[in-house]
Structure formats: C-alpha cells, structure tokens
Amino acid sequence: MKQTLWVLMSPDNNHWDEGFAREELERLAKKCGVEFLETGETRDSGAGQERKFVLEGDEEDVYNLVAELDEALY
C-alpha cells in the first residue's frame, strides 16, 4: 500500500522542531516496517510548516505508523 502523509515539521507553537519530527518518523517507520520517501513538497497549514511524505508498506503497518506519529507529535 502507498499513502501520502503531510507531517507538521515546524509547528508555530514550537512544541517540537523539524529534527525531532524527522527522528520520530524514522524511528516509527523502522519499528513498523514502513518505507517513506520525502517528496520535497511543503505547505503552510496555518499551524506551521508541513512536509509531504509517501509511505509504503502493509496497510496495517502504515496505519500503525500514522497513528503512533499522531500520538507522538500532536
């Protein structure tokens, strides 16, 4: 399964920074067995700067990564 995901890398409230967000994504991708590719696309979500990623792996593994990343960052 492939899925795109926008990740808030630099929130306006400074609760975390891009380095922490990237470390969490890498850690959880390894834990869940999901590959990810950074697309280079960015956008301002109104809450900060987001970066677009493409996730690839088993559907359940991708779902688990997204759920755990939401918990870790948001």
pLDDT(2) > 90: yes
Residues 6+ apart with CB under 8 A from 47: 8, 11, 12, 13
What pLDDT is attached to residue 50? 96
Q: Extract the runs of DSSP E, i.e. beta strands, from the chain.
A: 2-11, 35-44, 48-56
Tokens of 55: 């996730």
β-strand partners of 4: 54
β-strand partners of 11: 48
What pLDDT is attached to residue 45? 84
Tokens of 9: 């890398």
Q: What is the pLDDT of residues 12-71, one digit of tens each?
A: 999 999 999 999 999 999 999 999 999 999 999 889 999 999 999 999 999 999 999 999
